Amino acid sequence: MDSQNLRQRSRDDSGVTAAAATTDEKSRNRREKRMEMAKRGLRSLVISVSLPLFLTLLNIYLFGSGRGYGAKPKPFWFPPLWLLHTACLAESFLMGLSAWFVWADGGFHVRPNAFSLYSAYLGFSLAWLPTVFWMGAGWSGLVLSLAMVATLFGCYSDFGKVNTIAGNLVMPCLAWAAFLSVVNLKLVFL
């Protein structure tokens, strides 16, 4: 047998390469789809966290001078103005993240009440700062802070049924809103 005429059998001859190529294409398509979903998820996360943060920062910039808060003598346990603003920003961040977890699990479609509670909380928290700090209206601020506590409790209940992490993220916000209610109550009677 002449060794020059012999040829080694390649994969092209057996059809294995064509099957491997289609498998590679399918896995590449799946990878691309996953990457696209991850990009959309990251985009929605950024929007759901940055929008409440931006609104809270704008609220602090416009109305957070503390004209009504700093004018009265306060007990030693009252937080300084910078700490109140920082905690409000942290609360806004946590609630945006919590709402994103619920949205990512499809919870706003399953429980539309959760979205209305979150929207109401956001409105109450944005209204509380100018009411207490700018206008100095203690009774109105107390009503708003109690409404924040009630809506946060509803969010905790609904968010926790959709995603336990989202429910757990609401707990520090609920504690902060309860503390703000106590501070606001003390401001009313000063």
**Which of 5-9, 10-14, 40-44, 174-178 has the least mean pLDDT?**
10-14
What is the DSSP-derived secondary structure letter of residue 131? I
In 64-137, alpha helices (H): 67-70, 81-104, 107-110, 112-129
pLDDT band at 154 (very low <50, low <70, confident <90, very high): very high
How many Å apart are CA 167 and CA 181, to the nearest integer? 21
What is the DSSP-derived secondary structure letter of residue 130? I
* CB atoms inside a 10 Å sphere around CB 52: 23
Task: Quick: pLDDT tens for 109-126.
Answer: 888 888 999 999 999 999
Report which of 136, 142, 167 is spatially closest to residue 153, judged by C-alpha positions. 167
pLDDT at 76: 79
Domains and CATH numbers, the chain: 48-188 (1.20.1260)
Higher pLDDT among residues 125 and 3, named by residue: 125
Q: How many CA atoms lie within 13 A of 22 on its CB side?
A: 4
* CB atoms inside a 10 Å sphere around CB 96: 23
Task: Quick: pLDDT tens for 90-115.
Answer: 999 999 999 999 988 887 888 888 89
Q: At 32, which helix (H) or strand (E)?
A: helix 16-63
